[in-house]
Structure 1
Amino acid sequence: MARATRRRARRGETSREPLPGTDSRPGRAAPVAIVVAGPADAVPFIRSEPVGSVIEVVCLDGGGDAEHRALEAAVTQARRRGCVFPGEPFFLDAEAGNLTGQILDTLHDIGPLRVRTLDPDPVHDDIDRERKLPIVNEPQARGQVARSALRAARRYQLAVGTPVFVDCRRAGAENGLPAEACTRYPLPTRWLMAGTDGRLSAYLPTAAGVVRWTEGATESEGWRGPELLEGPELMPGLTVLRGPEGYAHLIGLSRTKRKEGGFAVEVVCATQYQTGRPVGPWTSIGNPNGASWQKAREVGFPAATFDAAGSLHLFVRNFGHSVSARRQSPKGALSGWETLGGMRTADELAAFPAADGGVHMVARARDARAAVHWYRRDAASGWAEDRRIPVSPYPGSLSAAPEAGAVRFRYAGSNEVCVWWPGAQAPIGLGGPDGVGPVDGVTGADIQGWGCTVLVRGGAGGVAAIGAHPDGRPDTGVWWAESGEPSLVPPAAAFDSRGRVVITTVGADGRLRVARQQLGPSGLEFTRWEVQ
């Protein structure tokens, strides 16, 4: 790959020179734009791209010869496994200013469905004891490029009117991990949800905010969407919950500029009361480190669940790498932030209700292949910590199980899907070591008259895999079958108004795919995928 010099990121000002051995024929998947500070920063992104990806690299500067050699090697390896590079990397003009505008013009030239960039708010490495401020040793250019890429991707999506999915690679993430294992703002595991009228809605985060697909009143009407929901500027992650009243609750992080300087990062939430109607107003739940914006910007992505009394329990990884919790009553009253302390945790939490009405939270440990479990029976009992749980999760795989009081994860040693109930001496293995990411599912599915748990996960090459076991008996084993449909996001499952399991994915073209269970004597069968 020849080194480009100051290639301008302006529409119409440059011609694309395809790399030898690449193929830019029409009909391929939409490109992914990798926007980074220097060539070496692009290497882990390229290595984690799946087979068949169309990759465009955008760099703030050209870097040195060693960086270019590393980039060339990564491109060569990616081409060998079937990835496509339509042209040489873009190198922006850092001295010209308006970095956001340069990236925006580049995105218009590329036309990406996905944008992958660096961490806009890397966590601190040390503390300035005198000024009592965090010290971040990550190069400033990386955060600058990431923040500009987020702004540019938002403006690009608003201009073209189609979803753009953004992934920010967490600073300091281990090399070799797949993208799903080191994202700063995770995609939701449960993003398909039935409303009070039984119709399904799908919610996903994009560069410009949350987009929604809504099921029609009848199957023949199909789905409406994707529709961009009104709201604040959100970071590209989302938590979706179905509350006890049947409403969908959307939880995310907003990042806004402060008049006094710096940026305010807050947990925000909104509620979908009626299917297909506008969501309610986005309200702030705050930040456990809100007294200092320099600390508050490091907050992890929120996890949440409801208890039996209808209170919302929200958890975030705080500045000190422990967990902070806050509770909202059914009437909207907020408790203060409570620091749980204990084991230092990574940016990966799973919250889920207990069978006895309480609340569980499991967090992946920051410094070991382990996890910590917190439990609260009721408001009077307080939180109890258990560090000796037999949970060793592969990064990016923790999720609340469809059964009350259980968590699913991929075992760090083998990538096998597992389920664990608090109090159990060991998790139960469910097979499925191929693929990456979390597992979604539903319980109580009718399969030949038996109540079963149906699971869905990302499989080999991102193809959705579906499995099932009798309700409450994961020890009987799970037989997994590929669905034939690759997905850009973790596949999701829910029941429709007729009690059928519905599986949804997002294809390489950014369009929603839907498959429904076919009830009858033939076992677990689904319709062909319908493109919405």
Structure 2
Amino acid sequence: MNGDWLLRGRDGRLSVYQSSGDAVLCRAESAPGGPWTGPRKVGGEQKLHPVPALGQGADGYTHLVSWRPTGKGESGLVHSTHFRAHLAALDWSPVGHPDKKGDRTGQPAVAVDAQGRAHVFVRNKGGGVSMLTQKEKGGWEPWRDLGGKGVQDGLAAVTGESGRVELYAAGPEGLPYWRQEAPGAQPVLQETLKAPVRPGTLYALATSAASTTLYYTGTDGELCAWRPGGKPVTLLTAAGHGPVSAVRCDLDGHDCTLLAQRSAAGRVAFAAYPTELESAGAWWTESGPRLTVDARVSLTTDEDGRVVAATLSPSIGQLLLTRRKPEPGLALEAWRTV
């Protein structure tokens, strides 16, 4: 999945989305903090290609986008909205192709603005980024070409606290960054950070009223944090490969950012620091059992503000979950199979 796949709905229930064969499955709590339901297929019987994308709006609704086969060597993008995790999602609806027709061009990414409109980003055949925006009262605007060159898979779309959508990408020239200058406007390329980046390691998080922070791993293996308009800061050596997951949370009365990543040793590594104060330093602490190589980690907070972490191992279908204990510090409950 591209995007956060452990989410909290507007009713406080947690849900998990996973790609399974030619479908997307969802599991959810039967009530906040309660037992979990079994997996249910999202969006009907439409067959999908792997690696769908997710985005969640301030209204708690989840937007999903995926490629579907439309013919020999041909694919198109489809969209679904899931209003409540314990209810059926809308059926997959075709939304087109960035080049009008052709095969898959890259992994999509989704962000949802303050008005609840989904913004879909995907590479086009020219190596740049194309965007599709949902209309506020239904339907979609035309595809727009945002530019870019040699853009790699693993786009990171994020909505700032202002409700405006932003996009980060990686390419041969570094990290291009696009931002909406007004609600509903086309994101504009603001700057490109000249930095060597490992492909597939981008993760973006809203960290203040004015800023979003991009986390990425450099080619030297160091995990860096960058806020556009400033210089990147090296946080610590990446615990493993792939992107981190991050969440803002209250730790003993302090606004902190918690990072998680599958470590090279196969366990989940956590690191926390005061939000936007990278100079305070951070260090990894490992937790839980050894995971499969394909395991991914996701973070959120529950309706009580407690951190929740989940790991998903697609190769063995294993979902593990833990929460922060209701006590000072960052002590976690024992990991349990869901």
Q: Which letter does structure 2 place at the counterpart of 1:269?
A: H
Match of 2:168 in 1: 362
CA contact (8 A) 1:311 1:329 kept: yes
Q: Residue 358 and residue 497 in structure 1: after superposition, are their counterparts in 2 closer, same or farther (change >3 A)?
A: closer
Q: Which amino acid aligns with 1:474?
A: E
2 CA distance for matches of 1:279 and 1:350? 24
Tell me: CA distance 1:270–1:383, structure 2 relative to 1, closer, same or farther (3 Å). Answer: closer
Taking the aligned partners of 2:32 and 2:152, their CA distance within structure 1 comes to 43
User: What SS does the aligned partner of 2:279 have?
Assistant: helix
Deviation, 1:474, is 2.5
* Counterpart selection for 2:49 from 235, 241, 245: 235
Q: Which residue of 2 aligns with 1:452?
A: 256
Q: How does 1:445-484 map to 2 (within 5 A)?
A: 445-484=249-288
The residue that corresponds to 2:244 in the other structure is 439
The one-letter code matched in structure 2 to 1:335 is E
Paired position in structure 2 for 1:377: 181
Q: CA deviation at 1:526?
A: 0.4
* 1:430 shift after superposition: 1.8
Counting matched residue pairs gives 331
Structure 2 length as normaliser, TM-score? 0.90
Determine which structure has greater relative contact order: mean sequence separation of CA pairs < 8 Å that are 6+ residues apart, divided by chain length.
2
Report which of the two has the higher share of helix.
Answer: 1
Letter in 2 for 1:461: A
Letter in 2 for 1:346: Q
Q: Distance in 2 between matches of 1:312 and 1:471?
A: 27
Superposition map of 1:356-435 within 5 A: 356-365=162-171, 368=172, 370-378=174-182, 382-386=186-190, 388-403=192-207, 405-412=212-219, 414-424=220-230, 426-435=231-240
Contact 1:233 / 1:255 at 8 angstroms: preserved in 2? yes
- 1:446–1:519: 8 Å Cα contact kept in structure 2? no
Q: What is the rounded CA distance, in whole Å, between the counterparts of 1:303 and 1:446 in structure 2? A: 28
* Distance in 1, Cα, partners of 2:31 & 2:116: 29
Aligned partner of 2:297 among 491, 495, 502: 491
Measured against aligned partners, the alpha-carbon deviations of 1:363-416 in whole angstroms (never above 9, x if no partner) come to 111xx262222222126865432453144321110122252522211112x222
Contact kept, 8 Å, 2:241 with 2:262, in 1: the verdict is yes
Q: 1:274 to 1:343 in 2, by over 3 A?
A: same
Distance in 1, Cα, partners of 2:17 & 2:55: 11
Determine what percentage of the aligned residue pairs are the same residue.
31
Structure having the higher strand fraction is 2
**Structure 2 residue matching 1:406: 3-state secondary structure:** strand
Alignment CA distance shift 1:237-1:342 (3 Å): closer
1:225 to 12, 25, 38: 38
Q: Which residue of 1 is the match for residue 26 of structure 2?
A: 212
Shift of 1:329: 2.3
Q: Residue 520 and residue 411 in structure 1: after superposition, are their counterparts in 2 closer, same or farther (change >3 A)? A: same
1:3-47 Cα deviation digits (max 9, x unpaired): xxxxxxxxxxxxxxxxxxxxxxxxxxxxxxxxxxxxxxxxxxxxx
Q: Tell me how far apart the structure 2 counterparts of residues 336 and 189 of structure 1 sit (CA, whole Å).
A: 24
Work out which of the residue numbers 98, 113, 119 in structure 2 matches 1:288. 98
Distance of 1:434 and 1:469 partners within structure 2: 16
CA distance in 2 between counterparts of 1:370 and 1:449 reads 37
Task: Tell me whether 1:272 sits opposite 2:82 in the alignment.
Answer: yes
Q: Read off the aligned partner of 2:64 and give its amino acid letter.
A: L
CA distance in 2, matches of 1:341, 1:506: 34
| Amino acid in the other structure paired with 1:337 | W
Distance change in 2, residues 1:380/1:357 (3 Å): closer
Quick one: structure 1 residues 228 and 311, their matched pair in 2 at CA, closer, same or farther if it must change by over 3 Å?
Answer: closer
CA distance in 2, matches of 1:380, 1:496: 30
Partner of 1:324: 130
Task: Name the residue aligned to 2:156.
Answer: 350
What is the alpha-carbon distance in structure 2 between the residues aligned to residue 402 and residue 383 of structure 1?
Answer: 17
Question: What code does the residue aligned with 1:396 have?
Answer: G
Please list the CA deviations of residues 267-310 of structure 1 after superposition, one character each: whole Å capped at 9, or x if unmatched.
Answer: 111111122111111112211212xx4xx204211112123343
Change (3 A) 1:436 1:481: same
Residue in structure 1 matched with residue 9 of structure 2 by the alignment: 195
User: Which of residues 308, 330, 338 in structure 2 aligns to 1:524?
Assistant: 330
Q: Secondary structure at the match of 2:276?
A: coil
- Check conservation: 1:447, 1:519, Cα contact below 8 A: no
CA separation in 1, counterparts of 2:335 and 2:183? 45
Distance in 1 of aligned mates of 2:147 and 2:318: 42
Q: Distance in 1 between matches of 2:126 and 2:26?
A: 35
Runs of at least 5 residues in structure 1 that lack an aligned partner in the other structure:
1-186
**Are positions 1:253 and 2:60 aligned together?**
no
Change (3 A) 1:446 1:384: closer
Give a deviation string over 1:301-355, Cα, whole Å, max 9, x none: 1112123343322111001111111211232231111112242312231112245
Shift of 1:203: 0.1
Distance 1:380 1:501, change over 3 A: closer
